[in-house]
Amino acid sequence: MLTADTMTEQAPLSSQNAQAAADGGVEKAPIRTQVVVIGGGPAGSTAAALLARDGIQVTLLEKAVHPRFHIGESLLPANIPLLDKLGVREQVEAIGMPKWGVEFNSIESEMKTHIEFAEAFDKSMPYAYQVRRADFDHILINNARDKGADVREGCRVREVDFSGKQVMVKAQQADGSMQSYVADYVIDASGRDTFLANQFKTKQKNKKHNSSALYSHFTGVERYEGKREGDISLFWFEHGWFWLIPLSDGTTSIGAVCWPHYLASRKVSVEQFLMDTIAMAPKLADRMKNAVRVGEVHATGNYSYTSSKSYGDRYMLLGDAYAFIDPVFSSGVLLAMQSAFVGMDAVKASLQVPQQAQAALARFDHHMRRGPSIFSWFIYRVTNPAMRFLFLNPRDFLQTKAAVMSVLAGDIFHNKAIWPSLYAFKGIYYISSIFNPMRTLHAWRRRKMNIRDPEAGSMV
């Protein structure tokens, strides 16, 4: 059985260490720090780097040891300015495959459409990168270390206690011993572990969405030549959609995002199930006719969730620790890193200028809710025939194409010019749905059935 834990490889404990952990481990003297960051993914590493750069004592606790596997290889153009601010752009360029655009492939016909990020409103962000997350995340966590953060890998947080004047964080180290940290503030960047959301019982299943994923890496996948070699391709099929992400080392990430009940219907090995699913998308299967699988097949059940709170007394949630949505528009890494940039202003205010903290936290909370909600409007409708038609037949009426490409580029936080055109696009979508009532009703009924499937939480 594969579970959500396969999304990130774990740092194993020896049998002796596991027993020590079961017995409570060996308690060491507490370590004093200003801020503890739980998790060393893009959100946590970015947060730790920004705090350390500004002279704040920060300790980052990461359960794994980098480099470690993680899915989510596609960055957005809006990531590039953030990489510049962190000072790691050149390192990422060295490992990245340039991505200039996206291709959409029809399920109903041979039609396919290619759109470039340069067609967005802001022409200064025409490309992004496809990256192996093991390498990308390693760059970010090393950057946090280089900036002065106390980075501790193979260190899994077990308990966070807010009952005292200071926060007590207990973590299990790789040797099984326990280490306590006394801090003024805790940042939860634990990703899908959602440590504090689970502790405070604020994690909620996203009732508007319900998807599962099945994915692996291949060599020999057909690529386009020249500038388009690194572009991401999306293929719709009967039960959802596929991603095809070319990587710079010659491998290609292939994944299916589908309704959980489809994964639960598996009667063959998970490897065969992935290949059978690929066969349902003929255009993808054609590009994979000479492909060889070179990685494990990973699967995860229903993963769409949010927390009812993004912050509280002496803590905040960043990135996937707050919410996780469908990866169709590759928004995860951007939302994680952007949340760290906005969140650290609030943390610094809380530590240094308490009278400004509440306003800063309110801005942070607004940001955390706004980002996922903008992408979610598209995500909830991406398998709808009306939305498929609009993506496959882009028209720049009232600059709607430029507005949609701005969203796909991740340019949603600072560019106010996109909103009139984006509202026009939504209006066109609704009008198209009204003029195709039977198709719209069928799509609505099918989606309603799928997101309420009784086996929504099952794994393959």
Indicate whether 218 and 193 sit together in one domain: no
Q: What is the CATH number of the domain that holds 62?
A: 3.50.50.60
Helix then strand count (H, E) for the chain reads: 15, 23
Give residue 451's pLDDT.
Answer: 61
Q: What is the CATH number of the domain that holds 430?
A: 3.30.9.100
CA distances from 324 to 63, 306, 330 (A): 20, 6, 11
Give residue 20's pLDDT.
Answer: 43
Task: Establish if 91 belongs to a structural domain.
Answer: no
Q: How far is Cα 153 from Cα 368, in angstroms, rounded to an integer?
A: 27
Strand partners, 218: 252, 293
Q: Indicate the helix (H) or strand (E) that contains 37.
A: strand 35-38
Q: Which of 323, 347, 373 is the last residue before a domain boundary?
A: 373
Nearest to 131 by CA among 223, 245, 44: 245
Indicate whether 329 and 391 sit together in one domain: no
Mean pLDDT for each consecutive 10-residue tract of the chain (460 residues)? 34 39 62 98 98 98 95 95 98 97 92 96 96 97 98 97 96 95 98 96 84 93 97 94 96 92 90 97 97 94 85 97 85 95 97 96 96 90 89 93 96 92 96 84 69 44
Task: Establish if 83 belongs to a structural domain.
Answer: no
Indicate whether 320 and 456 sit together in one domain: no
Task: Establish if 336 belongs to a structural domain.
Answer: yes
Indicate whether 289 and 173 sit together in one domain: no
Indicate whether 289 and 335 sit together in one domain: no
Indicate whether 330 and 432 sit together in one domain: no
Task: Establish if 86 belongs to a structural domain.
Answer: no
| Domain extent at residue 42 | 4-70+133-204+307-373
Indicate whether 180 and 319 sit together in one domain: yes
Task: Establish if 79 belongs to a structural domain.
Answer: no
Indicate whether 273 and 405 sit together in one domain: yes
Copy the structure tokens of residue 42: 């893009």
Task: Establish if 324 belongs to a structural domain.
Answer: yes
Nearest to 211 by CA among 440, 4, 1: 4
Number of domains composing the chain: 2
Q: How far is Cα 150 from Cα 401, in angstroms, rounded to an integer?
A: 45
Give residue 436's pLDDT.
Answer: 84
Copy the structure tokens of residue 113: 């459409």
Task: Establish if 76 belongs to a structural domain.
Answer: no
Phi-psi region of 257 (alpha: psi -120 to 50; beta: other; left: phi over 0): beta
Contact 307, 313 (CB under 8 A): no
Copy the structure tokens of residue 105: 């492939």
Indicate whether 365 and 392 sit together in one domain: no
Indicate whether 47 and 122 sit together in one domain: no
Indicate whether 9 and 153 sit together in one domain: yes
Q: Which of 345, 373, 401 is the last residue before a domain boundary?
A: 373
Strands of 148-250, DSSP E = 150-153, 156-161, 167-172, 178-183, 185-188, 203-205, 212-219, 232-237, 240-246
Indicate whether 369 and 387 sit together in one domain: no
Give residue 99's pLDDT.
Answer: 97
Q: Which of 344, 373, 402 is the last residue before a domain boundary?
A: 373
Task: Establish if 89 belongs to a structural domain.
Answer: no
